[in-house]
Amino acid sequence: MSALQRLFGFHGGVKPAYHKEASTTAPIAVAPTPTRLVIPLHQSIGGPPRPLVKPGERVLKGQRIGSADGNVSSAVHASTSGTVVAVEMCLMPHTSGLSALCVVIEPDGRDEWIALQAFDYRAATPTQTRDYLRDAGVVGLGGAVFPTYLKLNAGKQGKLETLVLNGAECEPFITCDDVLMRERADAILRGAVIMREMLAAGQVLVGIEDNKPEAVAAMEAAARAVNAASGDDAIRVVAVPTRYPAGGAKQLIRVLTGIEVPHGERSTDYGVQCFNVGTAYAIHEAIELGQPLISRIVTVAGNVGHARNYQVLFGTPMKDLIALCAPLPDSDRVIMGGPMMGFLMPADQVPVVKATNCVLVGSKKLFPPPPPEMPCIRCGECAKVCPADLQPFEMYWFSRARIFGKAQEYNLFDCIECGCCAYVCPSRIPLVDYYRFAKSEIWTREVEKEAADEARERYEFRLLREEREKQEKAAKLAAKTAAGREKAAAAVAEAQKPAVTPEEDAKKALIAAALERVKTQKELVHPENTVDLTPEQQAEVAAIEARRAEIREMAKPHLRQDD
The whole-angstrom separation of Cα 155 and Cα 37 is 39
Which residues have C-beta within 8 Å of that of residue 473, sequence separation ≥ 6? none
Rounded Cα distance, 106 and 261, in Å? 46
Half-sphere exposure of 506 (CA within 13 A, CB side): 3
Task: Tell me which of 110, 462, 487, 548 binds another protein, using CB under 8 A.
Answer: 462
Secondary structure letter of residue 113 according to DSSP: B
Residues 27-56 that bind another protein (CB under 8 A): 42, 48
- Let me know: does 37 contact 110? Beta carbons within 8 Å: no
DSSP letters for 466-502: HHHHHHHHHHHHHHHHHHHHHHHHHHHHHHHSPP--H
Residues in CB range of 303: below 8 A, 6 or more apart: 327, 328, 330, 331, 361, 362, 363, 365, 366
- 207 or 419: whose CB is closer to another protein? 419
Number of chain residues interacting with another protein (CB under 8 A): 32
CB of 87 to another protein, least distance (A): 16
Give the one residue of 5, 157, 444, 538 binding another protein; rule: CB under 8 A.
444
Nearer residue to another protein within complex by CB, 151 or 439: 439
Please state the closest distance from residue 456 (CB atom) to another protein, in A.
5
Question: Using the rule CB under 8 A, which residue among 58, 266, 333, 436 binds another protein?
Answer: 436
| Residue 456 interacts with another protein (CB under 8 A): yes or no | yes
Per CB under 8 A, 94 contacts another protein = yes
Which range in 68-76, 320-328, 448-456, 491-499 contacts another protein by CB under 8 A? Answer: 448-456
Please report how close the Cβ of residue 454 comes to another protein at its closest, in angstroms.
7
Q: Binding of another protein at residue 505 (CB under 8 A)?
A: no
403 part of the interface to another protein, by CB under 8 A? no
Which residue from 455, 489, 546, 551 is in contact with another protein, where contact means CB under 8 A? 455
Give least dist CB 55 to another protein, A.
22
Query: Within 10 A of 287 (CB to CB), how many other CB atoms are there?
Result: 24
Binds another protein by CB under 8 A, chosen from 372, 498, 535, 557: 372
CB-CB contact of 436 with 96 (8 Å):
no
Residue number with CB closer to another protein (8 or 461): 461
Decide: is 146 part of the binding site for another protein (CB under 8 A): no
How are the residues of the chain apportioned to helix, strand and coil, as percentages rounded to the nearest 5?
A: 40, 20, 40
C-alpha torsion 177→183→189→192, nearest 10: -30
With a CB cutoff of 8 Å and minimum separation 6, the contacts of 179 are 23, 24, 27, 28, 297, 309
> Nearer to another protein by C-beta: 227 or 427?
427
Q: How far is the CB of 431 from another protein (least distance, A)?
A: 9
Give the whole-angstrom CA distance, residue 521 versus residue 393. 114
Nearer to another protein, 92 or 219 (CB): 92
Q: Rounded CA gap, 383 and 418, in Å? A: 13
Buried b (16+ CB within 10 A) or exposed e, 82-100: bebebbeebbbbbeeeeee
- In angstroms, what is the minimal distance from the CB of 438 to another protein? 8
Q: Which listed residue (30, 452, 506, 541) binds another protein by CB under 8 A?
A: 452
Nearer to another protein, 460 or 505 (CB): 460
Does 417 bind another protein (CB under 8 A)? Our answer is no
Q: Which stretch binds another protein (CB under 8 A): 6-14, 56-64, 311-319, 444-452?
A: 444-452
Among 2, 5, 25, 96, binds another protein (CB under 8 A): 96
Q: Which positions lie near another protein, rule CB under 8 A?
A: 42, 48, 92, 94-96, 98-100, 372-373, 430, 433-434, 436-437, 439-441, 444, 447-448, 451-456, 458-459, 461-462
